Amino acid sequence: MSSADTIETTPNPEATAAPAEHEHGHDHVHDHDHEHHQHGPSLNPECTREVEIEIPADEVSRAFRTVTKRYQKQARIPGFRAGKVPESLIRTRFAEGLRQDVVESVLPAHFREAIDKAGFKPISQPQVTDLHLEDGQPLKFKAVFEILPEFSIAGYQDVKVDKPDTELTDAEFNAELDRVRDSRSTMEPVTEDRALVDGDWAQITFKGAIQGEPETEQPLSGDDVMIEVGGANTLPAFNEALRNSKPGQELKFEVSYPEDFGERRLAGKTVSYDVEVKGIKKKIQPELTDEFAKELGEYEGLEDFKQKLKDHLASDKKRSIEGQTRDKIVEALIAKYQFPVPESLVQQQVDARLDRGLRALAQQGMATEDMRKLDFNRLRSAQRDSAVNEVKGSLLLDRIADEEKIEVTDAEVDRELELLSLQMREPLDTLRQRLTDDGSLARIREQIRREKTGSLLYEKLAS
């Protein structure tokens, strides 16, 4: 588990924790009176509950008096001494602020009492509707919110997925060993008078014109570019043109790029190239010796390096395949159980996915002004199905964790924080306090619990 991913992708702890944990953090109720109504996020009717609340008139009046006196003490109005502003002027000048403060002073306790009495545990911020507030009259309102769905996980032990072989093969090890050698290779010029053959690297200068593109467009060009003749990543047209050519030759040929070509400007286009072969080079890989191994790091010799490389690759492959298999188990569980998903949790997950996407674009160099031009409604819509499945998967894992009585120890959380502290270069105590304050620590604990549940399911259900 990546600590950074945990913080970014796990929904609000109040929204995904076990039911008993949902009691924290929902005392604040937004005031949506009929004069300043602001529609909150849409809710899933199947997960939505509503309470009607009436607060006695005498309590409302006391709240008005208390709030008004506080405003009188704090108000600074020209022509009046501090603390001597008439109550009538306070109520006129600060009417909206008074109403908001009165609502915030009396609603939470009554909302808490109402949901406790009804046995509800909200997982979304309550939306207040039909609010009627006048001094000397009862305060009446409705609060609408989402709760976790009730659903059965009976038979989850019957889900089965194939357990793939996680053993590292010799071919995989040798391929990685070749990659390591290749990364330390050198390019040596070929001095003999001969033509290019497969395995050679052609040093070329080129100019290319994209057919159908105006001549005013920036042309394609490159100097001293290295291309492997017959290489797996070399386009067939380049292989055919360069093969058997010699330094000093000038070549003309066309290349038709596939529709899915990585460079967008060239995808699906035909380009006319003028190429000059400047030279031939051979890639020289280093010999596998003890000296080579010691150059790579603190290894006793070649065999020590090979063994540690093999251990590392085996561990990575095992972790990757087991992770993919756990994902398949969750997918099978999602397909097996149908239940309503709270819309508030879906939107939180959409937000998290978009946040990750935007940060990735920023790392790739996209300017902020270009990000603002993106069609966010379309982007949100495109993320919805994945977000729904992610929320369903989390809810299922949480229910199974309850069933299996899976707990997370403080030591497990501490290990995750220590790793995160190293990654972020932030002192451990400072990091712990920050994550506690913003709720991320609870999300980390939840994610660890889900991963432990996934590991248990892997052992039980993969065969």
Cα–Cα–Cα angle for 41, 47, 52, rounded to 5 degrees: 80
Which residues make beta-bridge pairs with 253?
273
pLDDT at residue number 41: 62
- Nearest-angstrom CA–CA distance, 358 and 325: 28
**163's torsion region: left (phi>0), alpha (psi -120 to 50) or beta?**
beta
The string of pLDDT tens digits covering residues 372-410 is 999 999 999 999 999 999 999 999 999 999 999 999 999
Q: What secondary structure does DSSP assign to 169-197, as a single string?
A: PHHHHHHHHHHHHHHT-EEEE--SS----
Give yes or no for a contact between 100 and 31, defined as CB atoms under 8 angstroms apart: yes
pLDDT more than 90, % of the chain: 79
Between 192 and 32, where is the model more confident? 192
**Which segments of 217-366 does DSSP mark as H helices, in order?**
236-242, 290-296, 302-336, 343-363
pLDDT digits (tens, 9 = 90+) for 162-216: 999 999 999 999 999 999 999 999 999 999 999 999 999 999 999 999 998 887 6
| Predicted local distance difference test score (pLDDT) of residue 11 | 34
CB count in 10 Å sphere of residue 55:
21
DSSP one-letter code for 20: G
pLDDT of residue 16: 30
Across 68-77, 295-304, 347-356, least confident range:
68-77
Check residue 40 and give its pLDDT: 54
pLDDT recorded at residue 214 = 81
90: pLDDT strictly greater than 60: yes
3-state secondary structure of 139: strand
Provide the whole-model pTM: 0.73
Q: How many residues does the chain have?
A: 463
Tokens representing 117?
A: 């009495």
Query: CA Rg, the chain, in Å?
Result: 33
pLDDT at 33: 40
Give yes or no for residue 36 having a pLDDT over 50.
no
Token reading at 332: 């099978």
Give start and end residues of each alpha helix (H) in 75-94: 87-93
Contact 160, 179 (CB under 8 A): no
* pLDDT band with cut points at 50, 70 and 90 for residue 338: very high
Q: How far is 140 from 107, CA to CA, in rounded Å?
A: 10
Q: For 397-407, how does the pLDDT look when each residue is reduced to its tens digit (9 = 90+)?
A: 999 999 999 99
**Cα-Cα-Cα-Cα dihedral sign, residues 105, 106, 111, 113:** positive
Mean pLDDT over 77-97 rounds to 84
Q: What is the pLDDT of residue 264?
A: 86
User: Is residue 9 scored above 90 in pLDDT?
Assistant: no
Evaluate whether 275 touches 235 at the Cβ level (below 8 Å). no
Residue 274 near residue 253, CB atoms below 8 Å: no
Distance, in Å, from the CA atom of 322 to the CA atom of 462, rounded to the nearest integer, reads 9
Q: What is the mean pLDDT of residues 312-337?
A: 96
Residue 157 has pLDDT above 70, yes or no: yes
The residue ranking higher by pLDDT, 463 or 277, is 277
Whether residue 142 contacts residue 51, with contact meaning beta carbons closer than 8 Å, is answered with: yes
pLDDT digits (tens, 9 = 90+) for 442-460: 999 999 999 999 999 999 9
Report the chain's mean pLDDT, rounded to a whole number: 88
